[in-house]
């Protein structure tokens, strides 16, 4: 998924409909590793496809696992089972684990206990995220594991002789007050060495994020590993333990990802009687601890119902009620409470969240800074955050939100788009959501509602071959906006007419208008589809171009296409390319460009294009055609080609494409309210 450098979200009002969430990160990466350690193949359904699972899968492939994907929902992983580990004397197997804590920590333990020569590294931030407590526990056992950079942090080298004896006769002690992932890592890795004897782990100090240990235990059980435990203090893996694939395993949708939609349902206005938002894939009986976010959301005012596989959320109490909550059990979803606090009456206090400081970024500092940018007042302590929302609508600010390469910062702060001041919101580097939820913004904007006039439209009109199409596509890509190639609609009407055996002449106006009104059209970034067929090339022939020009003269056809064109005005915004976008279709658009270039220049560009396609023609002929077409477009009765009164004229004769794009983006930026 290509993300722009920033995403501007217009002020949102409601949410409605249903959203199906991607798989749980925590379950996905645990299941992948357990399947890898098992004999035979495991069919995983509903696996999360994101940066964190991609690095895990890449690593497992390098370790020798086979991966097959019979369809989009199923992945079959062939495990390593009893196959021998690589020799510790050979070249290291280098594994890059991005910023995935659920890959780095468990793989470090699993490989140290398996034996072999490995180097584990990640992105720069991963090299600042602690792993010392886990490494110490492994070293205690006699594993040869060392730091390649700063002591206590990745990157790591593991050089372990699989045959060397380990000190397994006493309990392995591990601290759990920095991250529960260290204990999870040991729990998942140790069964490799529990064939002959039972193995115990003792947790030193207070364990944080306990519900993540419950996920680990639940999945170990699915893979046949039996344990004895004393609360969260001591865990004993029984002798004779062996990973046994369950065959097929369904991954629940991610409960942390659900928190953004639960919050949206609680915040967004919905008409009385409306059911609000349905969240599918995860339900009230989830094995993920973050499902307990619903208790906190309810305490703030959300109305939540549900069953085993889905949740239904709507606004209840309004404004929301501030809460004071120990969030240690829901470290990830608790960030969403910070965003909900923007809409609460009073000061919300989130405590026992020291682990926020060592995650994708220092989340306490980052959250305080960005909520402050929106107009809230925050007090950040070593392990707490207090949030007092903007006093009233007048105190909200149009903010440009930094995301610190932290997916949760981007997802949480997007909820500020529901602000009561009706201000748009800018999210910088929105692509960071790819860590756990690549399609997040599409999902949010797919269920969000706002008044059509709040959705910005940039109109790019101009004569034939002026470069409108290229400019519009580039501007849309840079802004993450939808694209309407209105000229293509006329071409599509002409093509559809030809397919139905209807000529483009005025006598057929009524039939042509009927065809136009129900065009089954879909655009994506580079292709055009008509009734599921890729017609990108078919509509570009000179013949269809001439017929398109003819049908575009017919008033009934033009009006049939108006509603279709208005339908393209969808969140977060639209770039509309055509001849009457600014004058007729979107007269209220906040930016209108009239793009021209001299006839000679346009003829030369078109000539170059045609030559590159192997079509021979002369510049003089093309110029004559262009001028004839201009005259026809400018003189037609209905919506003649002319600049809108408030359009900015842009002559691209002397400009490169990049310069033209930058000019338009510069004009657009100048009209945005975001403070820097």
Ligand X SMILES: C=C(OP(=O)(O)O)C(=O)O
Provide, rounded to whole angstroms, the least separation between the CB of residue 452 and ligand X: 35
CA 62 to CA 296: how far, in whole Å? 42
Q: Which is nearer to ligand X, 24 or 550 (CB)?
A: 24
Catalytic, out of 133, 254, 290, 332:
332
Binding segment for ligand X among 97-105, 239-247, 303-311, 612-620 (CB under 6 A)?
97-105
Of residues 408, 468, 606, 623, which one binds ligand X by CB under 6 A?
408
Residue 465 counted as an annotated binding residue: yes
**What is the biggest distance separating any 2 CA atoms in the chain, rounded to whole angstroms?**
93
Q: Does the protein bind ligand X through residue 436 (CB under 6 A)?
A: yes
Torsions phi, psi for 118 (to 5 deg): -140, 150
Q: What is the 3-state secondary structure (H, E, C) of 226-261?
A: CEEEECCCEEEECCCCCCCCCCEEECCECHHHHHHH
Q: Which is nearer to ligand X, 102 or 464 (CB)?
A: 102
For tokens 């920033």, name the residue: 6
Residue 577 annotated to the active site = no
Q: Tell me the torsion sign for CA atoms 363, 364, 366, 371.
A: positive
Task: Give the x-and-dash track for 77-106 against ligand S3P (CB under 6 A).
Answer: ------------------------xx----
Provide, rounded to whole angstroms, the least separation between the CB of residue 388 and ligand X: 25
Instruction: List Cα–Cα distances, 75 to 35, 43, 249, in angstroms.
Output: 11, 6, 10
CA 93 to CA 158: how far, in whole Å? 10
CA 89 to chain CA centroid, Å, is: 41
Q: Does the protein bind ligand S3P through residue 355 (CB under 6 A)?
A: yes
Residue 278 counted as an annotated binding residue: no
Q: Does the protein bind ligand S3P through residue 336 (CB under 6 A)?
A: no
Q: What angle do CA 177, 412, 456 make, to 5 degrees?
A: 165
| Helices of type H across 242-395 | 255-267, 293-300, 334-340, 363-374
Provide, rounded to whole angstroms, the least separation between the CB of residue 52 and ligand X: 6
Q: Does the protein bind ligand S3P through residue 179 (CB under 6 A)?
A: yes
Which of the choices ligand X, ligand S3P, none does residue 436 contact, using the CB cut-off of 5 to 8 A by kind?
Answer: ligand X
Q: Which is nearer to ligand X, 99 or 400 (CB)?
A: 99
CA 639 to CA 633: how far, in whole Å? 9
Provide, rounded to whole angstroms, the least separation between the CB of residue 26 and ligand S3P: 3
The full length of the chain comes to 676
Q: Does the protein bind ligand S3P through residue 332 (CB under 6 A)?
A: yes
Residue 646 carries which DSSP code?
A: T
Cβ-proximal residues to 285 (8 Å cutoff; 6+ apart), any chain? 308
Of residues 21, 27, 100, 574, which one binds ligand X by CB under 6 A?
100
Are 660 and 467 in contact by the 8 Å Cβ rule? The answer is yes
Provide, rounded to whole angstroms, the least separation between the CB of residue 436 and ligand X: 6
Residues 353-392 that bind ligand X (CB under 6 A): 359-360
Residue of closest CB approach to ligand X: 101
Q: Does the protein bind ligand S3P through residue 547 (CB under 6 A)?
A: no
Residue 256 counted as an annotated binding residue: no
Are 117 and 158 in contact by the 8 Å Cβ rule? The answer is yes
Q: Does the protein bind ligand S3P through residue 595 (CB under 6 A)?
A: no
Residue 462 counted as an annotated binding residue: yes
Are 174 and 201 in contact by the 8 Å Cβ rule? The answer is yes
Which of the choices ligand S3P, ligand X, none does residue 408 contact, using the CB cut-off of 5 to 8 A by kind?
Answer: ligand X
Q: Which is nearer to ligand S3P, 108 or 661 (CB)?
A: 108
Q: Does the protein bind ligand X through residue 30 (CB under 6 A)?
A: no
- For ligand S3P, how many residues bind (rule: CB under 6 A)? 13
Helix axes 132-141, 181-189, angle to 10 degrees: 30
CA 469 to CA 459: how far, in whole Å? 11
Other C-beta atoms lying within 10 Å of the C-beta of residue 616: 7
Residue 389 counted as an annotated binding residue: no
**Sheet holding 528-530: strands in order across?**
521-523, 528-530, 533-534
Binding segment for ligand X among 94-102, 189-197, 213-221, 389-397 (CB under 6 A)?
94-102
Which residues lie near ligand X (CB under 6 A)? Answer: 99-102, 332, 359-360, 408, 436
Binding-site sequence positions for ATP: 462-470
Which residues lie near ligand S3P (CB under 6 A)? Answer: 26, 101-102, 179-181, 184, 208-209, 212, 331-332, 355
Binding-site sequence positions: 25-26, 30, 101, 129, 179-181, 209, 332, 359, 363, 408, 435, 462-470
Residues annotated as catalytic (active site), given as ranges: 332
């Amino acid at each position: 998924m290509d993300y722009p450098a920033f995403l501007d979200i217009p002020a949102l009002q409601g949410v409605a409909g249903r959203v199906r969430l991607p798989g749980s990160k925590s379950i996905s990466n645990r299941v992948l590793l357990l399947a890898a350690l098992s004999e035979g193949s495991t069919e995983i359904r509903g696996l999360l496809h994101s940066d964190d699972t991609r690095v895990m899968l890449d690593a497992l492939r390098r370790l020798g696992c086979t991966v097959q994907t019979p369809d989009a929902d199923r992945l079959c992983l062939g495990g390593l089972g009893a196959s021998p580990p690589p020799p510790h004397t050979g070249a290291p197997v280098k594994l890059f684990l991005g910023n995935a804590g659920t890959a780095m920590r468990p793989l470090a333990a699993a490989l140290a206990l398996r034996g072999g020569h490995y180097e584990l590294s990640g992105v720069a931030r991963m090299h600042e995220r602690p792993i010392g407590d886990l490494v110490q526990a492994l070293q205690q056992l006699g594993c040869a594991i060392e730091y390649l950079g700063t002591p206590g942090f990745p990157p790591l080298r593991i050089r372990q002789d699989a045959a060397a004896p380990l000190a397994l006769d006493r309990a392995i002690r591990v601290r759990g007050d920095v991250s529960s992932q260290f204990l999870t890592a040991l729990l998942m890795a140790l069964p490799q060495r529990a064939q002959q004897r039972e193995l115990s782990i003792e947790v030193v100090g207070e364990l944080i994020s306990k519900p993540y240990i419950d996920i680990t235990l639940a999945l170990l059980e699915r893979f046949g590993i039996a344990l004895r435990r004393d609360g969260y203090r001591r865990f004993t893996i029984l002798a004779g333990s062996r990973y046994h694939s369950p065959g097929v395993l369904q991954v629940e949708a991610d409960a942390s990802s659900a928190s953004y939609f639960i919050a949206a349902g609680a915040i967004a206005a919905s008409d009385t009687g409306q059911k609000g938002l349905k969240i599918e894939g995860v339900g009230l009986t989830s094995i993920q601890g973050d499902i307990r976010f619903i208790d906190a959301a309810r305490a703030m005012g959300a109305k939540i119902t549900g069953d085993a596989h889905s949740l239904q959320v709507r606004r209840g109490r309004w404004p929301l009620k501030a809460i004071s909550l120990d969030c240690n059990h829901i470290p990830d979803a608790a960030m969403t409470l910070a965003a909900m606090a923007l809409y609460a009456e009073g000061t919300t206090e989130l405590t026992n969240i020291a682990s926020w400081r060592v995650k994708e970024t220092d989340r306490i500092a980052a959250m305080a800074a960005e909520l402050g940018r929106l107009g809230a007042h925050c007090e950040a302590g070593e392990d707490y955050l207090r949030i007092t929302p903007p006093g009233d609508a007048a105190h909200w600010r149009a903010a440009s939100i930094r995301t610190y390469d932290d997916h949760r910062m981007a997802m949480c702060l997007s909820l500020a788009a529901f602000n009561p001041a009706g201000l748009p919101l800018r999210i910088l580097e929105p692509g960071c959501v790819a860590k756990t939820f690549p399609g997040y913004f599409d999902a949010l904007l797919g269920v969000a509602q706002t008044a059509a006039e709040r959705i910005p439209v940039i109109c790019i009109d101009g004569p034939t071959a002026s470069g409108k199409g290229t400019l519009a596509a580039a501007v849309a890509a840079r802004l993450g906006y939808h694209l309407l190639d209105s000229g293509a609609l006329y071409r599509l009407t002409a093509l559809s007419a030809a397919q139905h055996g209807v000529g483009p002449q005025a006598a057929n106006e009524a039939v042509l208008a009927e065809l136009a009104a129900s065009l089954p059209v879909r655009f994506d970034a580079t292709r055009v589809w008509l009734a599921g067929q890729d017609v990108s090339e078919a509509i570009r022939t000179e013949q269809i171009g001439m017929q398109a020009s003819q049908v575009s003269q017919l008033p009934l056809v033009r009006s049939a296409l108006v509603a279709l064109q208005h339908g393209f005005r969808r969140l977060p915004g639209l770039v509309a390319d055509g001849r009457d976008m600014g004058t007729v279709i979107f007269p209220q658009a906040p930016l209108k460009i009239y793009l021209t270039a001299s006839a000679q220049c346009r003829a030369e560009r078109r000539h170059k294009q045609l030559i590159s396609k192997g079509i021979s023609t002369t510049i003089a002929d093309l110029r004559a055609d262009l001028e004839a077409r201009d005259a026809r477009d400018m003189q037609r009765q209905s919506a003649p080609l002319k600049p809108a009164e408030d359009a900015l004229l842009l002559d691209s004769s002397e400009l490169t494409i990049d310069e033209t794009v930058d000019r338009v983006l510069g004009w657009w930026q100048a009209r945005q309210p975001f403070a820097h």
